[in-house]
Amino acid sequence: MIDVQNVTKSFGSFGALRGVSLHVDKGDVVAILGPSGSGKTTLLRCINYLEIADSGTMTFDGESFDMHSISKKDISRLRRKTAFVFQNYNLFLNKTVLQNVTEGLIIARKVPKEAAEKKAIAALEKVGMADRLDSFPSQLSGGQQQRVAIARALAADPEIIYFDEPTSALDPELIGEVLSVMRDLAKEGMTMLVVTHEMNFARNVSNKVIFMENGQVIESADSKTFFENPKEERTKLFIQTIQSGRE
Amino acid sequence: MNEKLLQLLIDSFWKILIAGIRVTIPLAMLSFLFALVIAVLVAVIQYANIKVLRPFIRFYIWIIRGTPLLVQLYVVFYGLPSIGIVLPAFPSAVFCLAVNEGAYMAESMRAALEAVPKGQLEAGYCVGMSYWQIMRRIILPQAFRTAFPSLSNSFISMIKSTSMASTITVTEMLRQTQIINGRVYQSFALYMEVGLVYLIFCTVLTWLQSYGEKKLSAYGGTR
């Protein structure tokens, strides 16, 4: 469904991405792992054009794009097929829970208000937030805000949802509620590309894992192989460190 | 004598108050409204970094901040007719007050726009909205809330600035007081009195401001 080849991106003299490629099929849940500063988030932001890559090509549903010179029109066309969940939720602060979900539908996609609200409520029910329709983001916990953000992503019927460290800003006791929503989505066959530090999610929910370091993909494998039989020394070390950190 | 003075103060109080309600308040409100439009335009041009318009904005702010309002009023009302542009007193006052206060309010608006978290724009993009849709529906409403206290201050200061319009023959409160004083020569009492009316106006506005601020924060803080 999505194929990305040789993405590069520098900030000044710092090479954040140094030729990264990845491939996502329909129904895949791909976890992108790696230490901080490895370029995971930059990669995700380049894939959704929140940053413009220095070079790279993307094939989305059989259509090819140059990731550096892509037109604004194509960017917004691609964005309508995708959704993005941010680390800091980024709910619209001046909008209620319901409005947060309907806003994009009504304003960008021209869905009639009633239909949009119906859709929004269905999405909010899925994440267990349908009882807080009239609350403002400031009145919700981080976990609740992130669930609303996921509902906002779902409501647009995206072909893929990008998650940028969706649980990293949350208090430990709130992480579970967000992960369980994501697990349900994965079960329903939603295609997801997830930058995360949650090893359990990567191991048990995702079917593919990409391990990045220093702006490059070190290893890419199905998740069982990745955790049980990693090829690269660096990957083994990473998995060991993570696991010893747990105990 | 004291009774006569008291009677004079009571009579003039109503005349001054009526001038306030009929002229000062509408002058301040109209000027504020236009100033707000100017401020939003100027702030958005700067925030959105529309390069072709930026030199004009900088020139405008430079001129306005570097010259007194009184001089601006004189130029527009007494000066422009000599090059064939004749504006009546009230519109001249509205024009100058709006253009003047607008330059200052633009700075408050710009700061408020910049205080809106960057993620709001990105989130808007990701749900498919365009820059201007996000600006209008997400960023500006939040910026208005942030700017509310300083915009209220601008309105209060506008009320006081309208007194300068007395110098270009607008019969607002101060000029009304001068006219009364011209007949009775009670400068101290009368100017104290008009000061008191300004104080009443501004006090009411201050109450409204803190009421408005409470209302806005009850509706959900911005952060």
Q: Are B130 and A76 a contacting pair at CB < 8 A?
A: yes
Structural domains of chain A in order of their starting residue, each with its CATH number: 1-81+161-169+196-247 (3.40.50.300)
Q: What are phi and psi of A195, to 5 degrees?
A: -80, 125
Distance CA A38, CA B178 (A): 74
Distance CA A123, CA A115 (A): 12
Mutate to test the interface with B, among A72, A93, A159 (most CBs of B within 10 A): A93
Q: For the residues B33-59, what does the mean pLDDT come to?
A: 95
Q: For the residues B159-179, what does the mean pLDDT come to?
A: 96
Mutate to test the interface with B, among A92, A100, A145, A152 (most CBs of B within 10 A): A92
Q: Are A92 and B117 a contacting pair at CB < 8 A?
A: no
Distance CA A163, CA A153 (A): 10
**Structural domain includes residue B223:** no
The pair of structure tokens assigned to A208 is: 């593919």
**Structural domain includes residue B184:** yes
- Residue B216 banded pLDDT, cuts 50, 70, 90: confident
DSSP letter, residue B199: H
Q: Are B220 and A136 a contacting pair at CB < 8 A?
A: yes
- The CATH number for B175's domain is 1.10.3720.10
Distance CA A143, CA B211 (A): 32
**A77: distance to nearest CA of chain B, Å?**
8
**A chain contacts of residue B146, beta-carbon cutoff 8 Å:** none
**B chain contacts of residue A93, beta-carbon cutoff 8 Å:** 117, 120, 142, 220, 222-223
User: Positive or negative, the Cα torsion across A86, A157, A93, B220?
Assistant: negative
> Can you give the pLDDT at residue B222?
44
Mutate to test the interface with B, among A90, A96, A111, A193 (most CBs of B within 10 A): A90
Asked if B20 is an interface residue toward chain A (Cβ–Cβ < 8 A), one would say no
Q: Are B219 and A88 a contacting pair at CB < 8 A?
A: no
**Structural domain includes residue B199:** yes
Secondary element (H or E) of residue A7: strand A2-11
**A103: distance to nearest CA of chain B, Å?**
8
> Can you give the pLDDT at residue A246?
53
> How does DSSP assign B63-104, residue by residue?
HHHHS-HHHHHHIIIIIGGGGT----HHHHHHHHHHHHHHHH
**Structural domain includes residue B69:** yes
Domain range for B24 is 2-218
CA-nearest of B64, B67, B66, B134 to B102 is B64
Digit-by-digit pLDDT tens for chain A (247 residues) are 899 999 999 999 898 999 999 999 999 999 999 988 899 999 999 999 999 999 999 999 999 999 999 999 999 999 999 999 999 999 999 999 999 999 999 999 999 999 999 999 999 999 999 999 999 999 999 999 999 999 999 999 999 999 999 999 999 889 999 999 999 999 999 999 999 988 889 998 999 999 999 999 999 999 999 998 888 888 888 888 877 655 4
**Structural domain includes residue B103:** yes
**A57: distance to nearest CA of chain B, Å?**
20
The residues facing A210 across adjacent strands are: A32, A220
**Structural domain includes residue B186:** yes
pTM given for the model: 0.88
For the cut 60, the answer to whether the pLDDT of residue B25 exceeds it is yes
Collapsing DSSP states into helix, strand and coil, what is residue B143?
helix
Distance CA A113, CA A136 (A): 19
> Can you give the pLDDT at residue B95?
97
Asked if B114 is an interface residue toward chain A (Cβ–Cβ < 8 A), one would say no
**Structural domain includes residue B127:** yes
The contacts of residue B32 (CB under 8 Å, 6+ apart) are B98, B101, B154, B155, B158
* Overall number of domains in chain B: 1
**A chain contacts of residue B130, beta-carbon cutoff 8 Å:** 76, 108
The pair of structure tokens assigned to B181 is: 């004083």
> How does DSSP assign A166-217, residue by residue?
TTTTS-HHHHHHHHHHHHHHHHTT--EEEE---HHHHHHT-SEEEEEETTEE
Closest CB from A50, A84, A94 relative to B138: A94
**Structural domain includes residue B206:** yes
- What are the start-end ranges of the H helices in A26-96? 40-47, 72-79
Average predicted confidence (pLDDT) for chain B: 93
